[in-house]
């Protein structure tokens, strides 16, 4: 085993050891909390041998536990519970094994308790999963401690002293006062922000948990909390089925699209609302099954609502089954703190919660602000770029509220996976096939755990249905049905997040702070927000970073490592990935009847890498706003359907501010007032109007369909009261509309734009020591885009971003450690300059595939430190395709200098039109691009010649290149609220490639000088593209062949190629001077041998090797011949005296 592998193993072991130590400490604290709450010496009944709960011989007292009992099952003791008891057990502590079951199909096992704690050594099961099994009903019901203590009881004196519910609880409101938004820690520390507390009011929740803080300060009691192995497994049944036909009010039967496996008579079911704008009496129905015949369900009562589908788009309402044969429930109560909860925590060995119903559980109340933590102080962010505010990353610390003042604690839910672990290799918890029904807060909470949360039904909850709580969560959420999620409190989300660490309370079906979960085939109905993503990570208290290696490997089909320094302590930012950085992956999501289909905001300032969030098959059927993507970056949507709930006021996509590099392929918009909300204009009396999108970032629409959509673009003034006369008629965002026929698959390329930042000074000290930055441009199927996020310049310092990717090693020692594990190299062509390699995995926005690119970073001032530098292999160093146009020298035949734009109120702005505008990385073809950036960048982003005969545009790539692809982007004619159209001038030109400079100024002269020609026809299009060229040349000319005066205007010219590395002999040089054109051709070929040869033979072969033409010439300098046959690839073989022997490829269109 080599040294590099050994070192990697060592680092992995060190990381694993560190992780295990942290987990051990966390586990020990949690276990101590439960042991202190339920000390074993207070037990009224202790199991002394393996046996049945209902066998007196099992217990030290010789009696069966009865009402008020405190039960202790020691380690290595197993107690089986199969039977029914109405006794209200106060507490059960399991250090050993507890098995609850019912093996008789006609019987029900019943157990009622207040508190059930299972320690780290425990193994707890609730099993009724066989077809012959019966039911299990677990009542989690508050025990009246004070009444029991005051009367006759079986507790000892110590227990009576320990267990109390008479603590005085004081409720206080806490509100922020002063400025809570700062740019730096220095400003924040000198600021005036503070928390103001109200005077207290006494709260009495009766027999709830609030007054128990003397022995249960964490409010863990009144619930089931396990730290060992847990298996809750009931009988499987299909959780949801789509309707096969409309179901209308008054019907007492419904038709399903498939046989509902496992469904039974008397099961409760929920039928979702539909999403058609024209539907009347749309809504949910909760009904009971009377009988089942195949796919027909007969109901015990008639439907009250209509459930109408949309057959044209294969959409229909869904039916969910709410009944399971294992039930955990609390009694109906209006006092939230008297409800139970279920939590599995701190142990990933074996957690299975399957096919059970959790009814009326959970007491974290999302209708109210959480009051267990409040802002305490500012922290200096360790990430490279961050505000110190609600928008910052890890910039605030909360303080815990005194236990006698906590009235609404987080963490008490129907199903709560609490810190089971997410490090690479963690076991996956299973939460499948369950029902969560009626919860005042989150339904299923997936917290710092690796879990499969799938095939569940979540119904009638507040705040959010299924939640990834703190950011580190991994796993899968598949085939869940979430119905009827209402909004909680209405405190501003920025205030709630920063002041109280409270979030995801607005009615999200899937609520995500952790973005790394793979979500597939989920159905969400009657919610405020179908998918709600919270990207604010200001507080360190309830935030967990992602394990970088787990993120890279656990999403099957989407494995990619974007964070090479986020492990082993390499990075100055620390280990782990900030939640905001992870790409979302969602496949086949259906949202029915919502205010928002997807709402994801406040991400753009925290993304220091390149990846794509993927929404493949997203449907928002019956929504007020389909997608809200403000303050958002790098989302790819494919096969998206959005229909409005009201065509008079619904919106398809909201991207009016800070929305960067979004793509939409196969987007269908139906029944909407507006398709896309583009940049609002923000008025300012001193600086003038501005927009908050930068105009560079592309929004790409492929195969857009619209049906009953009013205006495509919604144009709004953000604050019209500043100037009521301001007229906003044309947006300046970079909207690009294409069809799939305009796109072909291409390899992804990466081009370094500025290599001056790619070096690390080994001896440097200070704040920026060991820091380097990656700045480049990416090309993919859709074209090119700049790496990173550049905010609109008109925003000043309001928003930050990462225009370049930043890396920084934590220390010189960690830098050396990284190099030891990953290698040091030397450049033998640059005086043995030392360098190391960082690997950037970069995405294709259409295929979602990633390509790995080695970025070489120089090591400066390290002479004698690294003595065993390697030399990369020749294959690793061969030239790769790059965006060669971006680095080219360009010119044009003339430049127009009298073009301007005026919106009528903002003022006239001159448009600069030099040739460089066509290679600036911005393919925004609108005349008013950057118009609202307050003069901070030139207005417009296209080149423009004068109107003249045969204008041309030249590119010099600096050396001979092997050219593979090009895209030439047209400008567009702006069209108000309608979709812009391609400019009419974009026609009748040719793209010539040559290995020698073009000297002629006429089209025919350029044609004669060119080695290759690619003709643009007479039909204007948005772009002109060619692929897989393999053309060799240094010079490219775009030359108009239009018969009269015309201009050349180009929004962008993108040419992909690489350095031509062929070694040329004299014969090769002669061969290169042989020109054959046009190529591609429609049939006619011109051959120029550059000199006269004797005894020349010309043969043309098709791709099958068949000869289609053969000519002989005694002597030849140039000739013309014709290829007859189908379109395709042909080979022209030319032989003659003086070693004339060459083959040329030619394409016939």
Whether 873 and 891 share a structural domain: no
Taking a C-beta distance cutoff of 8 angstroms, is the pair 31, 48 a contact? Answer: no
Residues in the chain with pLDDT values less than 50: 1-20, 1063-1066, 1068-1069
DSSP-derived pairing of the beta strands 108-118 and 135-140 = parallel
- Per-residue pLDDT, 974: 97
* 912 and 1030 assigned to the same domain: yes
Whether 858 and 915 map to the same domain: the answer is: no
CATH number for the domain spanning 1036: value is: 2.60.120.260
Q: Is residue 853 part of a domain?
A: yes
Domain-embedded: residue 338: no
* Shared-domain flag, residues 1102 and 1015: no
The CATH number of residue 1124's host domain is 2.60.40.3080
Query: Does residue 1102 form part of some domain?
Result: yes
Q: Which of 233, 268, 284 is the last residue of a domain?
A: 233
pLDDT score, position 1130: 85
3-state DSSP assignment of residue 429 = strand
In this structure, the number of other CB atoms found within 10 A of the CB of residue 290 comes to 14
Structure confidence at residue 1065 (pLDDT): 43
Tell me the CA distances in angstroms from 688 to 84, 683, 795, 898, one per residue in order: 76, 6, 12, 24
Q: Name 149's Cβ contacts closer than 8 Å, sequence gap at least 6.
A: 155, 160, 163, 164
* 1035 and 1079 assigned to the same domain: no
Per the CB < 8 A criterion, the answer to whether 102 and 130 are in contact is no
Q: What is the pLDDT of residue 484?
A: 99
Location of structure tokens 């020298």: 889
Q: 974 and 1019, same structural domain?
A: yes
Of 1029, 1059, 1089, the last residue of a domain is 1059
Domain boundary among 272, 301, 321: 321
Task: Say whether both 784 and 858 belong to one domain.
Answer: yes
The vertex-1069 CA angle with 1067 and 1071, nearest 5°, equals 70
**Is 61 found in the same domain as 136?**
yes
Asked if the structure places residue 290 within a domain, the reply is yes
Residue 567 lies in a domain: no
What pLDDT does 13 receive? 44
- Grouping H, G, I as helix, E, B as strand and the rest as coil, residue 308 is coil
- Looking at the structure, do residues 890 and 860 belong to the same domain, yes or no? no
Radius of gyration, CA atoms only, the chain: 35
Q: Which of 401, 394, 400 shows the shortest CA–CA distance to 539?
A: 394
Please give the backbone phi and psi of residue 549, each rounded to the nearest 5 degrees, phi first. -75, -35
β partners of residue 97: 78, 123
Q: Both tokens of residue 6?
A: 């050994």
Give the per-residue pLDDT at 521: 99
On whether both 158 and 72 belong to a single domain, the answer is: yes
Distance CA(108)–CA(100), nearest Å, equals 11
Does 1052 lie in the same domain as 922? yes
The answer on 1026 and 904 residing in a single domain is: yes
In-domain check, residue 942:
yes
Give the contacts of 591 (CB within 8 A, at least 6 positions apart).
509, 524, 525, 527, 530, 531, 597, 598, 618, 619, 620, 621, 623
Question: For residues 625 and 649, is the Cβ–Cβ distance under 8 A?
Answer: no
Q: Total structural domains in the chain? A: 5
Give helix 3-37 / helix 812-822 axis angle, nearest 10°.
120
| pLDDT given for residue 405 in this prediction | 98
Residue with tokens 């076991």: 427
Within a domain: 624: no
Which stretches of 361-503 are assigned E, i.e. beta strand? Answer: 373-378, 393-400, 415-421, 429-432, 435-439, 444-454, 457-462, 464-468, 474-478, 481-486
The token pair that represents 232 in the structure block: 């809750």
- Angstrom CA distances, 909 to 103, 749, 771, 896, stand at 82, 36, 40, 15
Q: What local confidence, expressed as pLDDT, does residue 1129 receive? A: 77
Residue 754 within a domain: yes
Cis peptide before 25 (omega within 30 of 0): no
CA angle 113, 221, 236 (to 5 degrees): 60
Could you tell me the two tokens for 52? Answer: 């049945």
Domain extent for 58: 38-165+221-233
For the beta carbon of residue 62, count every other beta carbon within 10 angstroms: 10
């Amino acid at each position: 085993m080599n040294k590099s592998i050994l070192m990697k193993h060592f680092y992995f072991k060190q990381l694993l050891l560190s992780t295990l130590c942290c987990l051990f400490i966390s586990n020990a604290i949690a276990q101590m909390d439960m042991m202190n709450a339920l000390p074993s010496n207070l037990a009224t009944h202790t199991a002394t041998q393996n046996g049945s709960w209902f066998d007196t011989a099992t217990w030290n007292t010789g009696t069966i536990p009865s009402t008020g009992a405190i039960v202790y099952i020691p380690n290595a003791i197993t107690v089986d519970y199969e039977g029914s008891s109405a006794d209200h057990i106060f507490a059960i502590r399991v250090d050993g094994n507890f098995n609850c079951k019912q093996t008789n199909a006609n019987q029900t096992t019943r157990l009622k308790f207040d508190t059930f704690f299972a320690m780290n050594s425990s193994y707890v099961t609730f099993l009724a999963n066989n077809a012959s099994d019966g039911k299990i009903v677990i009542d989690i019901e508050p025990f009246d401690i004070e009444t029991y203590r005051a009367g006759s009881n079986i507790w000892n004196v110590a227990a009576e002293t320990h267990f109390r519910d008479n603590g005085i609880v004081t409720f206080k409101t806490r509100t922020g006062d002063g400025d809570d938004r700062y740019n730096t820690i220095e400003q924040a520390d000198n600021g005036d922000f503070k928390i103001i507390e109200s005077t207290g009011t006494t709260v009495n929740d009766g027999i709830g948990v609030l007054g128990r803080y003397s022995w249960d300060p964490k409010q863990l009691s009144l619930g089931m909390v396990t730290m060992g192995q847990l298996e809750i497994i009931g009988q499987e049944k299909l959780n949801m089925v789509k309707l096969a036909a409309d179901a209308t009010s008054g019907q007492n039967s419904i038709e399903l699209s498939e046989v509902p496996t496992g469904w039974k008579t008397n099961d409760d079911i929920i039928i979702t609302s539909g999403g058609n704008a024209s539907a009347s009496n749309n809504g949910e129905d909760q009904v009971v099954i009377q009988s089942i015949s195949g796919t027909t369900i007969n109901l015990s009562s008639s439907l009250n609502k209509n459930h109408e589908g949309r057959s044209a788009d294969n959409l229909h309402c869904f039916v969910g089954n709410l009944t399971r044969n294992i039930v955990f429930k609390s009694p109906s109560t209006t006092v939230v703190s008297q409800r139970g909860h279920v939590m599995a925590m701190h142990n990933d060995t074996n957690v299975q919660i399957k096919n059970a119903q959790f009814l009326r559980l959970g007491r974290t109340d999302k209708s109210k602000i959480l009051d267990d933590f409040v802002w305490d102080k500012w922290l200096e962010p360790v990430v490279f770029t961050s505000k110190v505010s609600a928008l910052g990353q890890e910039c605030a610390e909360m303080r815990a509220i005194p236990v006698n003042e906590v009235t609404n604690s987080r963490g008490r839910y129907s199903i709560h996976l609490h810190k089971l672990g997410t490090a690479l290799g963690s076991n996956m918890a299973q939460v499948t096939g369950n029902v969560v029904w009626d919860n005042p807060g989150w339904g299923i909470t997936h917290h710092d755990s690796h879990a499969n949360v799938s095939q569940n039904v979540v119904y009638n909850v507040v705040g959010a249905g299924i939640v990834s709580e703190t950011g580190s969560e991994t796993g899968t959420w598949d085939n869940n049905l979430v119905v009827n999620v209402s909004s909680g409190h209405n405190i501003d989300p920025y205030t709630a997040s920063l002041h109280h660490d409270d979030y995801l309370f607005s009615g999200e079906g899937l609520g995500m702070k952790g973005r790394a979960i793979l979500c597939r085939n989920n159905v969400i109905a009657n919610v405020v927000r179908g998918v709600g993503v919270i990207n604010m990570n200001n507080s360190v208290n309830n935030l967990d970073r992602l394990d970088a290696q787990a993120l890279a490997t656990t999403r099957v089909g989407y494995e990619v490592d974007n964070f090479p320094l986020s492990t082993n302590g390499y990075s100055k930012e620390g280990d782990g990935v900030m939640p905001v950085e992870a790409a979302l992956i969602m496949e086949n999501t259906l949202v029915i009847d919502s205010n928002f289909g997807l709402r994801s905001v406040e991400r753009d300032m925290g993304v220091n890498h390149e990846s794509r969030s993927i929404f493949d098959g997203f449907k928002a059927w019956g929504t007020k706003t389909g997608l809200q993507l403000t303050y958002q970056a790098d989302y790819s949507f494919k096969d998206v359907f959005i229909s409005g709930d009201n065509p008079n006021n619904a919106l398809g996509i909201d991207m009016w501010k800070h929305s960067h590099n979004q793509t939409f392929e196969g987007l269908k918009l139906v029944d909407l007032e507006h398709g896309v909300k583009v940049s609002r204009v923000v008025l300012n009396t001193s600086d003038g109007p501005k927009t908050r999108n930068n105009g560079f970032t592309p929004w790409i629409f492929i195969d857009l369909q619209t049906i009953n959509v009013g205006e495509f673009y919604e144009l709004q003034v953000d604050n019209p009261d500043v100037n009521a006369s301001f007229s906003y008629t044309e947006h300046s965002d970079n909207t690009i509309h294409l069809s799939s026929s305009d796109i072909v698959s291409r390899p992804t390329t990466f081009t370094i734009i500025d290599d001056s930042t790619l070096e690390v000074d080994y001896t440097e000290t200070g704040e920026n020591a060991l820091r380097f930055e990656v700045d480049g441009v990416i090309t993919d199927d859709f074209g090119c885009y700049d790496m990173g996020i550049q905010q609109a310049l008109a925003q000043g310092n309001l928003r930050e971003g990462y225009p370049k990717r930043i890396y920084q090693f934590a220390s010189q020692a960690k830098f050396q450690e990284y190099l030891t594990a990953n290698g040091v190299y030397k450049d033998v062509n640059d005086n043995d300059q030392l360098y190391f390699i960082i690997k950037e995995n970069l995405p294709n926005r259409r295929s979602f595939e990633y390509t790995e690119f080695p970025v070489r970073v120089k090591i400066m001032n390290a002479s004698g430190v690294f003595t065993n530098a390697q030399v990369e292999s020749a294959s690793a160093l061969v030239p790769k395709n790059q965006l060669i146009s971006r680095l080219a020298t360009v010119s044009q035949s003339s430049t127009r200098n009298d073009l301007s734009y005026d919106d009528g109120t903002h003022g006239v702005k001159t448009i600069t039109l030099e040739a460089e505008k066509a290679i600036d990385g911005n393919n925004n073809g609108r005349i008013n691009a950057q118009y609202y950036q307050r003069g901070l960048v030139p207005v417009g982003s296209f080149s423009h010649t004068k109107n003249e005969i045969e204008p041309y545009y030249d590119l010099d790539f600096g050396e001979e290149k092997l050219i593979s692809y090009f895209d030439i982007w047209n400008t567009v004619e702006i069209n108000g609220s309608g979709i812009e159209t391609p400019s009419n001038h974009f026609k009748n030109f040719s793209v010539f490639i040559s290995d020698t400079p073009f000297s002629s100024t006429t089209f025919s002269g350029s044609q004669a000088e060119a080695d290759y020609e690619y003709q643009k026809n007479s039909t204007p299009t948005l772009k002109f593209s060619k692929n897989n060229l393999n053309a060799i040349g240094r010079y490219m000319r775009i030359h108009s062949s239009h018969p009269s005066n015309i201009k050349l205007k180009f929004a962008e010219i993108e040419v992909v190629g690489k350095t031509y590395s062929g070694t040329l002999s004299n014969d090769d040089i002669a061969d290169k001077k042989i020109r054959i054109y046009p190529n591609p051709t429609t049939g006619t070929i011109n051959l120029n041998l550059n000199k006269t040869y004797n005894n020349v033979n010309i043969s043309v072969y098709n791709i099958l090797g068949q000869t289609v033409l053969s000519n002989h010439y005694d002597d030849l300098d140039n000739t013309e011949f014709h290829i007859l046959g189908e379109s395709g690839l042909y080979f022209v073989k030319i032989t003659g005296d003086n070693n004339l022997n060459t083959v040329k490829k030619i394409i016939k269109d």
